[in-house]
Structure 1
Amino acid sequence: MRRIINVLLVAVCLGMAMPAQAQLIKFGVKGGLNLAKADFNKSDLKTDNFTGFFIGPMAEVTIPVVGLGVDGSLLFSQRGIKVGDESIKENGLDIPINLKYTIGLGSMLGVYVAAGPDFYFNFSGDKKYDNLGDFNRKNAQIGINVGAGVKLLKHLQVGFNYNIPLNNSGDYSISHMTLTEPSSTSTIKNSYKMKMWQISAAYIF
């Protein structure tokens, strides 16, 4: 995974280092839905899909002749864990940087594929739930985005994306009474990763 990230970052840097006359730089706004699900390492805790949102500014650098480009966004993002009726929300700053390849299907339509690293910085503190246990979130999380979409009317982009976490999203612990000594408790510790589908729409000025 580290090699993949390094290759993508090198490609991003090469694209940005090209002469300005060979590039087309545009700015826009991007928003959409997060569909997150926590995957626990060693736990029978059953989770459902948590639905959140993201929104923020974006920039796109394209090389028109080649079809390659790079886009980056600065997004306020809400993700979380859903266990039964309990939703454990998490707010943070999401910074995806994607290498894009676009195939033009006419002057008003294009199809693209994208991939790149994703950096997430958590603003929410740790949470303790009497019936669930303690959730300690990582302040910094890194993943890889893989996605595709369409470009419409030269300004609108609609896409979907899958985020694969590379490090743990947080730690989880819960205390249980021991059967041999009812007055004492034992703590079970676990970690989890948050996998996420995203549906986005962007308007490029």
Structure 2
Amino acid sequence: MKKIISVLMVAVCLMMAAPAQAQLHFGVKGGLNISKLSFSKDAFKGDNKTGFFVGPMAEFTLPIIGIGADVAALYSQTDLGVDGEKTMKLKTFAVPVNLKWSFGLGSMLGAYIAAGPQFDFNIGNKTWTRELSLKKSTTSFNVGAGLKLIRHLQLGVNYNFALSKTGTYEYYTEGESGDGHHSVNIKNNTWQVSLAYLF
């Protein structure tokens, strides 16, 4: 919760510090998650799984140079798969904070590129099975681009990759020295397709 408050305060301060001619818009954003787990060892393979995200967002832009930022508060849900067998549902509260450069392609069409950190907070189960446990919070990074249509719609594609581990997967093997216990760190990386409407 302290991280959420800190991030939101920074975003508000940036918007308040922007010059008077800066454009500030609020809106709603939603889209599709395509997630895949990666493992610190090659013993397991992650499967591509889908989900969704939705929530409010805010964006401010300096019109002449097109530099700005956006922040969102998103409910995100996606399935996670391991070796085509184990499937679990990850539910998070995500706060992406992106720097954004926008440029025009015509009177009714524009484009943008964006990048920035994202703070994810697990609001679902922390432990799914005896083998798998998920962290309460993680940090990731976004890199994306998109189109701005008729001044209100934004269609984007984004890649979100984990900067810290999402959780731990533990498993046991027989016939080895010791107790045969192994622990593997997992990371959740996600492609996203989004649609936003700004008022």
* Both proteins in one fold, TM over 0.5: yes
Question: Structure 2: how far apart are the matches of 1:186 and 1:157?
Answer: 51
2:43 aligns to what? 44
Contact 2:153–2:198 (CA<8 Å) still a contact in 1?
yes
Number of the residue aligned with 1:191: 185
Distance 1:173 1:69 in 2: 43
How far apart are the structure 2 equivalents of 1:59 and 1:70?
8
Residue type of the alignment partner of 1:116: G
CA contact (8 A) 2:118 2:142 kept: yes
C-alpha displacement at 1:106, in angstroms?
1.6
Contact 2:68/2:101 (CA < 8 Å) preserved in 1?
yes
Q: Residue 135 of structure 2 is aligned with which of 127, 134, 138?
A: 138
Equivalent residue number for residue 5 of structure 1: none
Partner of 2:122: 122
Residue number in structure 2 paired with 1:91: 91
CA contact (8 A) 2:11 2:71 kept: no
Relative distance call for 1:77 and 1:169 in structure 2 (3 A) is same
TM-score computed with the length of structure 2 as normaliser? 0.87
**What is the deviation of 1:150?**
0.2
* Residue in 2 that maps onto 1:6: none
Aligned residue number for residue 6 of structure 2: none
CA distance in 2, matches of 1:145, 1:13: 21
- Deviation per residue, 1:24-49 (Å, 9 max, x gap): 11111000011111110014112210
Measure the CA separation in 1 of the matches of 2:17 and 2:162.
Answer: 28
Mapped partners of 1:43, 1:185: distance in 2: 20
**Residue 45 of structure 1 aligns to which amino acid in structure 2?**
F
Which one-letter code corresponds to 1:142 in the other structure?
Answer: T
Give per-residue Cα distances to partners, 1:54-83, cap 9 Å, x unaligned: 000111111111111111110000134213
Q: CA deviation at 1:99?
A: 0.7
After alignment, is 162-171 or 145-154 more displaced? 162-171
Alignment of 1:57-68 (within 5 A): 57-68=56-67
Asked whether the equivalents of residues 15 and 69 of structure 1 are also in contact (C-alpha less than 8 Å), the reply is no
Q: Find the aligned partners of 2:160 and 2:176 in 1 and give their Cα distance.
A: 41
Query: How far apart are the structure 2 equivalents of 1:13 and 1:107?
Result: 31
Worse-superposed segment, 24-33 or 42-51: 42-51
Normalised by the size of structure 1, how large is the TM-score? 0.85
1:78 aligns with 2:72: no
Q: Is the 8 A contact 1:12 1:99 kept in 2?
A: no
User: Counterpart in 1 of 2:152?
Assistant: 155
Ranges in structure 1 where 5+ consecutive residues have no aligned partner: 1-9
In structure 2, what is the Cα distance between the partners aligned to 1:104 and 1:13?
27
CA distance in 2, matches of 1:42, 1:96: 29
Aligned 8 A contact 2:38 2:45 in 1? no
2:81 and 2:88 in contact (8 A); partners too? yes
Aligned residues: 188
